[in-house]
Amino acid sequence: MVGCQECRTEEEMGSIYTPKVSRKTLTAPAPFADETSCQCQAPHEKLTIAQARLGTPVDRPVRVYADGIFDLFHSGHARALMQAKTLFPNSYLLVGVCSDDLTHKFKGFTVMNETERYEALRHCRYVDEVIRDAPWTLTPEFLEKHKIDFVAHDDIPYSSAGSDDVYKHIKEAGMFVPTQRTEGISTSDIITRIVRDYDVYARRNLQRGYTAKELNVSFINEKKYRFQNQVDKMKEKVKNVEEKSKEFVYKVEEKSHDLIQKWEEKSREFIGNFLELFGPDGAWKQMFQERSGRMLQALSPRQSPTNSPTRGRSPSRSPSPTFPWLPNKTSPPSSPKAASASISSMSEGDEDEK
């Protein structure tokens, strides 16, 4: 049996300043109230809210009680329990969960059964102890049995079981501490979503292997849902093909752009090289001019210097005979054409002599 975390006899306390016992609910599930080894026999004095908020008494935690159905346990439930746990500096949170019989009688059918709801509360980090089969309306005997100091709940009047507010007598006794509801989340909202999108969830569970009998679906609806699932699969395949096609076209466009860019670069390089070789100031023109100059130098005879000394040439010597068919050594041809003409005339003179 699990011992109560804050119950001690007068001998065990020894002093009014007994240190706190470390919580076990962070590493293990919270215990059930009917499985603890004692029923809180330690001295229990009635507290006011002001005293509890000041951290007194120092020898024991403030026992706070919160109750509910806790069907489809969600974040709204957890936040309410967190608020109840942190109302006072040192608190011990007891959570009462109503049974299936009471809930179905006063509120309606639940999705989770009572055992599932008990276990959900045991594994909430803010809960120190779970009370199974909690009463719908709190009685003085129940409050005394569990040594409850305060009851935490939202401040909205809860009309049920023929009463305008089942917490009215708790409020009048000064034991009620309000908490805030979490907007946008509740068990009713979750059930409404499921009912609203019933076809979606039925098809989902059929896909996951549940049978039509387990889902309470008729034969016609089962065929309809399965056909819709096939249609959705086909749509998904078409969508995947479209996405892959778009990706392929994008890759082709990207590669085409790269090829065009490379072609443009190579074209510019080819044109630049061509102009550098064959352009107006290209290397080919310079090479042609150099070769033409060399040919002209090779074809043209060397000219004797005009200022060479006569070495005692007598003025009476007759001038050297001239031959009209020979080129004048003193006057080299002025152009390649003239040089070729001279060579032609020389060849013709040779033929005449023969």
> pLDDT at position 2, please?
45
pTM of the model: 0.60
Residue at 107 is within a domain: yes
Question: How many domains would you assign to the chain?
Answer: 2
Q: What angle do CA 236, 241, 243 make, to 5 degrees?
A: 95
Q: Please indicate, yes or no, whether residues 93 and 207 belong to a single structural domain of this protein.
A: no
Length of the chain: 354
The answer to whether residue 38 is domain-embedded is no
Examine residue 251 and state whether it is found in any structural domain, yes or no. Answer: yes
Coil vs helix vs strand at 38? coil
The CATH number of whichever domain residue 145 belongs to comes to: 3.40.50.620
The whole-number mean pLDDT for each consecutive block of 10 residues of the chain, a chain of 354 residues, reads: 46 39 68 71 74 82 95 96 95 96 94 96 95 95 94 89 86 94 93 92 89 88 83 85 84 82 84 76 74 79 57 50 49 52 53 47
Quote the pLDDT of residue 23.
58
Residue 161 gets the label, from left (phi > 0), alpha (psi -120 to 50) or beta, of left
pLDDT at 249: 85
Asked if residue 262 belongs to a domain, the reply is yes
| Domain annotation covers residue 231 | yes
Helices (H), 279-335: 283-299
170 shares its domain with 226: no
Q: What pLDDT, on the 0 to 100 scale, is given for residue 161?
A: 65
Cα(102)–Cα(108) distance, integer angstroms: 9
Are residues 150 and 200 located together in one domain of the fold?
A: no
Angstrom distance (rounded) from CA 99 to CA 112: 11
Q: Among 140, 160, 185, which residue terminates a domain?
A: 185
* 294 domain-assigned: no
Sign of the torsion angle spanned by Cα atoms 214, 218, 222, 223? positive
> Do 169 and 214 sit in the same domain of this protein?
no
Does residue 33 sit within a domain?
Answer: no
pLDDT tens per residue across span 257-311: 888 888 888 888 888 777 777 777 777 777 777 778 878 788 776 655 555 555 5
Is residue 143 domain-shared with residue 82, that is, in the same domain?
A: yes
Do residues 103 and 129 share a domain?
A: yes
Instruction: Write down the mean pLDDT value for the chain.
Output: 79
What integer pLDDT is reported at residue 163 of this predicted model? 79
E strand or H helix that includes residue 115: helix 114-122
DSSP string, 72-94: T--HHHHHHHHHHHTSSSSEEEE
Question: What is the DSSP-derived secondary structure letter of residue 302?
Answer: P
In terms of residue numbers, what domain contains 259? 188-287
pLDDT at 85: 96
Q: Within a domain: residue 232?
A: yes
Specify whether 200 is located in the same domain as 76: no
